[in-house]
């Protein structure tokens, strides 16, 4: 399976890193693209080695400005894509078809090819413009999933919450997250 992972400038770089970790553990080919804002956020939230670590977790890394990259075409055959975290700028660009950088172009490819696109928007509170963009993406077939921790899994640490949220992303992408995902067993 080939999965594109986009990281944009919203807070939550730890989620993008954990999704890449879990995809690597699941032996999934990953294609990473990070916006300039995403690079700044990764460096701020994950420290001076964060960007290098995130890139190392990916099978392939693509430059945000390379609109000629493989992932910019439906013929490449990527199976799914996650934008985690997703800024409101990137969310809006995806909703309105602005393929002005490689991340938004790759997302547009997922939508036009009717492939899985999972978007984790990170913003609060939400404006009507944000909500409209989420609705537009949902109507086009994307899954819009703000990163909400599953409290029924009784996470004890922030790492537990991040692992659970990332495991859900893998599940939505069609990749088995294995034991990283706590499955509801009923009461």
- pLDDT attached to residue 157: 95
Q: Strand, helix or coil at 125? A: coil
Total domains, the chain = 1
Residue 42 domain-assigned?
yes
Residue 183 domain-assigned?
no
Rounded-to-integer distance, Cα 98 and Cα 101, Å = 8
- pLDDT attached to residue 116: 98
Residue 184 domain-assigned?
no
CATH number of the domain encompassing residue 56: 3.40.50.1950
For 157, the domain range is: 2-177
Residue 106 domain-assigned?
yes
Rounded-to-integer distance, Cα 182 and Cα 39, Å = 31
- pLDDT attached to residue 80: 98
The predicted-structure confidence for 81-90, as pLDDT tens digits, reads as follows 999 999 999 9
- pLDDT attached to residue 185: 83
Residue 6 domain-assigned?
yes
Residue 187 domain-assigned?
no
Residue 182 domain-assigned?
no
- pLDDT attached to residue 127: 96
- pLDDT attached to residue 148: 92
- pLDDT attached to residue 184: 86
Instruction: Give me the residues of the chain with pLDDT under 70, please.
Output: none
Rounded-to-integer distance, Cα 168 and Cα 181, Å = 7
Residue 110 domain-assigned?
yes
- pLDDT attached to residue 16: 98
End-to-end CA distance of the chain: 35
């Amino acid at each position: 399976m080939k999965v594109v992972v986009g990281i944009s400038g919203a807070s939550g770089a730890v989620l993008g890193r954990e999704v890449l970790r879990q995809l690597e553990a699941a032996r999934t080919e990953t294609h990473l693209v990070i916006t300039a804002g995403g690079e700044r956020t990764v460096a701020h939230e994950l420290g001076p080695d964060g960007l290098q670590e995130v890139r190392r977790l990916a099978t392939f890394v693509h430059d945000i400005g390379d609109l000629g990259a493989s992932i910019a075409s439906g013929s490449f055959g990527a199976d799914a894509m996650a934008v985690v975290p997703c800024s409101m700028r990137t969310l809006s660009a995806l909703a309105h078809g602005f393929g002005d950088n490689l991340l938004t172009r790759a997302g547009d490819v997922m939508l036009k090819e009717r492939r899985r696109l999972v978007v984790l928007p990170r913003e609060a509170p939400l404006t009507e413009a944000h909500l409209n963009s989420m609705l537009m993406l949902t109507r086009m077939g994307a899954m819009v999933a703000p990163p909400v921790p599953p409290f029924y899994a009784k996470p004890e640490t922030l790492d537990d919450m991040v692992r659970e949220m990332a495991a859900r992303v893998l599940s939505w992408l069609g990749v088995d997250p294995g034991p990283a995902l706590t499955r509801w067993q009923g009461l």
